[in-house]
Amino acid sequence: MAQSSSERDSTNPLLVEGLTFRYRARTESALRDVSLALAPGEILLVAGSSGCGKTTLIRCINGLAPRSYKGELEGRVLLHGQEVTEYPLSRISQIVGTVLQDPERQILGTRVAAEVAFGLENLGLPRTEIRQRVDEALAHLRIAHLANRKTFLLSGGEKQKVALAGVLAMRPSLLLLDEPLASLDPASAQEALALFRRLADEGISLLLVEHRVEDALSIHPDRVLFMQEGRAVYHGPPEDMMDVVDYRQVKLPAPVVIRRAADDPPPTFQPVIQPNGREPLVTFENVSFAYEEDGPQILHDVDLTIRQGDVIAFLGPNGAGKTTLIKHAIGLLKPRRGRVLVEGRDTREMSVAQVAHTLGYVFQSPSHMLFAPTVREELAFGPQNLGYDRGVVSAGVANAVKIVNLNGLEDYPPLALSFGQQKRVSIAAILAMRSKILVMDEPTAGQDYWNYMAFMDAILQMRGFEAVLFITHDLDLAISYASRVILLNDGRIAGSGPPAEVLTDLDLLRQCRLVPTSLLEANLAYLPETGRFMSAEALAHFDS
């Protein structure tokens, strides 16, 4: 006997029908007539450009929109056959687990074990069961060693794993993952994806929002939903997506990009910043550091010189010390041993504001930077405090808005934007300050392929920056843009040099939890002819 529609609805953990949503503060709809279904054990990969509605879709499914995020909702969302609006949020949290893009906004506990136990304690579960679930979740993610660590001392990637552990401990039937790989090193990302596949095989349904599409395809999602401007423009098998979606918006495997980009005009990118070996801008001399007097050593005897013209990618596993190293350069941290010199001056003798004239820092989490009521005021704040006159400030703001593609959003509240848009606001805020050195921590987190390629192209073609430094887990970003790669592992420099030298040592990459990508493999194949590493679009037009 055939099932009725209501019976089918109840067997599906998730059914979305004709979903349209408009935020109260926005004139246009964030979602437009989106429909989808998820059966038990299915994985749906959701991709699309930053701000296309992916996160709003998650908010509608987990009930936060329109309850916490006010707006007008049309259509319906069913969880196991019942409309989400009929559930209290406390009940939804037991059915739907959500991992946010920015783990900073999800972690409340001061120590890891307490954070993972938080949701379970609110359910009033017995203490023995809470302990068992916490231990299982930490073991699943291979972070049992972090159980007693203070959460504010964790790296961004470690915080992402802790946030995921807290959700898994609740044992939801539906898991919503919003850019879960954004802060993870490549090996950790592979482990997380393998875990997602295992959870699906155990019967949990997963909706995976991810810009790292090539990585996500490795676990064979059942279907892909590709979104543009709030609409579903493709919903079907992963294999049929390659020739349908815009390769400039979604990062596809390098061979696909090389094939498709060959029919387009060649890239014209020529960086203005060029290595010239002049006097050092920043020098680390035998720098060691621990956050607590008797705590673990984070940096060990680091010697490093950053010179004018350097475009440096810092790569390495979560917790290797990358962000700690950079915070020494900008004066937020002072070495316990050794010293850091900025243009010849010891950072111990400089205020953070003085250092900011030389180094402008984009935090990994935009919520650490953004506070102004509008994007325009956010971008003007830094240069105003550095003493620039009104005309210079206005010109700098307008230029920064153009570079990071924020046109039309100048009067919106920064914290009302998507995570990817917030990230671009934080980058624009530093661009407007006209510091000599631009320092970016995970600049591609939450960014679609087109946006991060466009702003990296624009930044490296700007006159005024004497060096650009970026911390990243995106090996392809380093391949495409860095003139120098520095590998960190366990607080030590494990490798330093041009990408075509450092990234050819596959054993070293494995030690630093880096996983070769299709772009690295393509560059290794072309290297005897090119003599250097290039983006997939450039390889498509390389003429030996």
More confident residue, 443 or 120: 120
* 306 and 204 share one domain: no
In the structure encoding, which two tokens stand for residue 209, read together?
């929002």
Residues in the chain: 544
Q: 72 lies in a domain?
A: yes
Rounded Cα gap, residues 454 and 324, in angstroms: 28
Tokens of 383: 């240069």
Residue 215's domain spans which residues? 5-252
What CATH number does the domain containing 141 carry?
3.40.50.300
Tokens 């996983």 appear where?
515
φ, ψ for residue 122 (rounded to 5)? -70, -20
How high is the mean pLDDT of the chain? 90
Three-point CA angle 177, 179, 184, nearest 5°: 110
- Are residues 25 and 101 both part of a single domain? yes
Pair 300, 492: CB distance under 8 Å:
yes
Rounded CA-CA distance 134/40 in Å is 24
Q: Identify whether 520 is part of a domain.
A: no
Are residues 306 and 381 both part of a single domain?
Answer: yes
403 within some domain: yes
Contacts of 339 (CB under 8 A, 6+ apart): 285, 286, 287, 346, 347, 348
Are 29 and 166 part of one and the same domain?
yes
Q: Are residues 373 and 463 in the same domain?
A: yes
* Closest listed residue to residue 311, CA positions, set 472, 515, 505, 84: 472
Of 263, 231, 232, 230, which is closest to residue 248 (Cα–Cα)? 263
pLDDT band, residue 2 (cuts 50/70/90): very low
Query: Distance between CA atoms of 432 and 349, rounded to whole angstroms?
Result: 26
**Same domain flag for 168 and 309:** no
In a domain, residue 263? The reply is no
End-to-end CA distance of the chain: 65
Residue 493: CA atoms inside 13 Å, Cβ hemisphere, count? 19
Output the CA angle 532-537-543, nearest 5 degrees. Answer: 60
pLDDT tens profile 462-491: 777 889 999 999 999 999 999 999 999 999
Following DSSP, what letter does each residue of 161-198 receive, concatenated? HHHHHHHHTT--SEEEEESTTTTS-HHHHHHHHHHHHH
The answer to whether residues 225 and 339 belong to one domain is no
Judge if 246 and 330 occupy the same domain: no
Higher pLDDT, 170 or 365: 170
Report the pLDDT averaged over residues 435-446: 85
pLDDT single digits (tens) 266-320: 988 788 787 776 779 999 999 999 998 888 899 999 999 999 999 999 999 988 9
Q: Give the helix/strand (H/E) hosting 539.
A: helix 536-539
User: Which residue is it, tokens 């240069």?
Assistant: 383
What share of the chain in percent tops pLDDT 70?
A: 97
Judge if 244 and 296 occupy the same domain: no
Going by the DSSP 8-state scheme, the letter that residue 211 receives in this structure is: S
Does residue 111 sit in the same domain as residue 242? Answer: yes
pLDDT tens digits for 386-401? Answer: 888 999 999 999 999 9
Residue 421: both structure tokens together: 């848009």
Residue 517 lies in a domain: no
Collapsing DSSP to helix, strand or coil, 494 comes out as: strand
In a domain, 268, yes or no: no
In a domain, 502, yes or no: no
The residues, any chain, with a CB within 8 Å of residue 360's CB and separated by 6 or more, are 382, 430, 431, 433, 435, 437, 438, 439
Both 136 and 16 in one domain: the answer is yes
Is 509 among the domain residues? no
Count of domains in the chain? 2
On whether both 229 and 343 belong to a single domain, the answer is no
Closest by CA to 15, choosing from 256, 189, 205, is 205
Note whether 38 and 14 are within 8 A (CB): yes
DSSP character string of 239-267:
GGTTTTS-TTTS---HHHHHHHHTTSPPP
